[in-house]
Amino acid sequence: MSYPVFLNIKDLSCLVVGGGRVGLRKARGLADAGARVRVVEPKPSETLLEMEKKGLVQIKEAEFAPEDLGGMRLVFAATQKAEVNALVAQEAGKRGIWCNIADAPLASDFFLPALVRRGDLMLAISTGGKSPALARKLRMDLEKIFDAAYLPFLELMGRLREMLLAQGHDPDGHRDLFRNLVEGPLLEYIREEDVEAVARLLEPIAGADAMALAVSVTKEHPAGKIPEIPGDFSEKGDS
C-alpha cells in the first residue's frame, strides 16, 4: 500500500541517472516543478542538451559514480542497465536518499503517477506499478472530462474564496455558497465563454466587481486554450 503526497521540490537537488527516454521524462517533470536537476549521462541526446541550454538541467557527461549522490535529495535510476540501476539504488539507500528505480518498482522508495494538470488542479493516477499503460490510458480519458475550462474555473473559485475570506470567516455560509457554485452551471458558462452569464452568477458575491472579474477570468484564460503549464506533458498525448 503506497501513500500519496504532492511534494514541494522547488530548489531541491535531484539526480537523474541515465538521460534516455525515461530519464528525460523524469528530468522534465522535475525541472517543471522547479527542482535543481542534474543528469548523469555519458551520451546526452540533442533534446537533453537543449534542456541544458535552457537552464532546466545540468548534465554531467559521464557514467554514474556514487559521489554524484552528494547533496541530492531524490534520485532516479533510469539507465537501461539493471546492474547500474541497482547500484544507484543501493548507494542512495546507504545515504538515506529516496530513490525511484525505473526497472524495479517494488524496490523503489516511490514511483510516479500519470498526471492531468489544469493549473493548480492536478489528478494523479497510479496502478501501483501493475500497468503503466492503463495509467496512461486513464489519464487520456480524464483529460477529456476535465477539459481546459477547469483552469479558469479553478482560478475563479480561488479568487472568490480570497475575496470572501478577506471579508471575514463564515465557514457554514461559505460552504453552501461554494458548493452551489461548483455544482451549478458556472463551469458550463465558462466553457461557452459566456461572460454575461458568469457575471450574473458572481454578482451576489462580487457585487459591482462581478463583470470585471468575469471578464478577467475568461479573457486571461480562454477556456479553449490550455497555456503551457509547468509539469504538464499531458497535452503531448504520448509519454
Ligand X SMILES: C[C@@]1(CC(=O)O)c2cc3[nH]c(cc4nc(cc5[nH]c(cc(n2)[C@H]1CCC(=O)O)[C@@](C)(CC(=O)O)[C@@H]5CCC(=O)O)C(CC(=O)O)=C4CCC(=O)O)c(CCC(=O)O)c3CC(=O)O
Q: Which of 17, 27, 74, 226 binds ligand NAI (CB under 6 A)?
A: 17
CA distance 186 to 192: 10
Contact string 82-121 vs ligand X (x = CB under 6 A) = ------------------x-xx-x-----xxxx-------
Q: 51 to 90, contacts with ligand NAI by CB under 6 A? A: 63-64, 78-81, 84
Among ligand NAI, ligand X, none, partner that 42 touches (CB below 5 to 8 angstroms by kind): ligand NAI
Q: Which of 34, 93, 132, 222 binds ligand X (CB under 6 A)?
A: 132
Which candidate, 82, 41, 75, 74, places its Cα nearest to that of 58?
Answer: 41
Q: Which of 102, 202, 213, 223 binds ligand NAI (CB under 6 A)?
A: 102
β partners of residue 60: 40
Among ligand X, ligand NAI, none, partner that 32 touches (CB below 5 to 8 angstroms by kind): none
Amino acid at 85: N
For residue 2, the tally of other CB atoms under 10 A from its CB is 11
Q: Which of 16, 17, 74, 135 binds ligand X (CB under 6 A)?
A: 135
Establish if 13 lies at the interface with ligand X (CB under 6 A). no
Establish if 45 lies at the interface with ligand X (CB under 6 A). no
The DSSP code sequence of 130-185 is S-HHHHHHHHHHHHHHS-TTHHHHHHHHHHHHHHHHHH---HHHHHHHHHHHHHST
CB-count exposure of residue 168 (10 Å: 0-12, 13-18, 19+): exposed
Among ligand NAI, ligand X, none, partner that 79 touches (CB below 5 to 8 angstroms by kind): ligand NAI
Write down the least CB distance from residue 58 to ligand NAI, Å: 14
Establish if 230 lies at the interface with ligand X (CB under 6 A). no
Cα–Cα distances in angstroms (integers) from residue 93 to residues 65, 68, 75, 166, 217, in the given order: 15, 14, 10, 47, 47
Establish if 160 lies at the interface with ligand X (CB under 6 A). no
Between CA 187 and CA 194, with CA 193 as vertex, the angle to 5 degrees is 90
Contact 188, 197 (CB under 8 A): no
CB-count exposure of residue 183 (10 Å: 0-12, 13-18, 19+): exposed
Establish if 116 lies at the interface with ligand NAI (CB under 6 A). no
Residue nearest to ligand NAI (CB): 20
Summarize as ranges the residues that interact with ligand X (CB under 6 A): 25, 29, 100, 102-103, 105, 111-114, 126-129, 131-133, 135-136, 139, 239
Summarize as ranges the residues that interact with ligand NAI (CB under 6 A): 17-23, 40-43, 63-64, 78-81, 84, 102-103, 132
